[in-house]
Amino acid sequence: MALQTQGRELVEYRTTCPADATRYAASILDEADVVVSWGGDGTAREVASALAGSNVPLLVCPVGTENLLAKELRIPAHPHRLAEIVAGGRTVECDLGIVNGQDFLLIIGIGFDGEVVKRLATVRRGHITHLSYFWPIWRTFWEHDYPRLHIFADGEEIFDDFGLAFVGNISRYAVGLRICRDADYNDGMLDLVVFSCQEQTALVLHAAWALLRRHPLKGNVIYRQFRHARIETDRPVPSQTDGDIGPNCPLDISVHPGKLRLLVPPPRMTYGLWPWRGEPPL
- Please report the pLDDT score of residue 253 as a whole number: 98
- Please report the pLDDT score of residue 215 as a whole number: 65
| Prior bond of 62 cis (ω within 30°) | no
The residue count of the chain comes to 282
- Please report the pLDDT score of residue 282 as a whole number: 44
Residue 243 burial (10 A CB sphere; 0-12, 13-18, 19+): buried
Could you give the CA distance from residue 57 to residue 17 in angstroms, rounded to a whole number? Answer: 23
| Prior bond of 236 cis (ω within 30°) | no
**10-residue block means of pLDDT along the chain (282 residues)?**
65 89 93 90 92 94 83 87 84 95 94 87 65 76 90 96 94 80 93 88 72 65 95 94 92 96 74 44 44
- Please report the pLDDT score of residue 259 as a whole number: 94
- Please report the pLDDT score of residue 187 as a whole number: 94
Q: Say if 4-96+259-263 and 99-255 have the same CATH topology.
A: no
- Please report the pLDDT score of residue 123 as a whole number: 66
- Please report the pLDDT score of residue 272 as a whole number: 43
Phi, psi angle pair for 76, to nearest 5° = -75, 160
Q: Where are the domains of the chain?
A: 4-96+259-263, 99-255
Q: What is the CATH number of domain 4-96+259-263?
A: 3.40.50.10330
- Please report the pLDDT score of residue 248 as a whole number: 95
Architecture of domain 99-255: Sandwich (2.60)
Assess contact for 251 and 100: CB atoms under 8 A.
Answer: yes
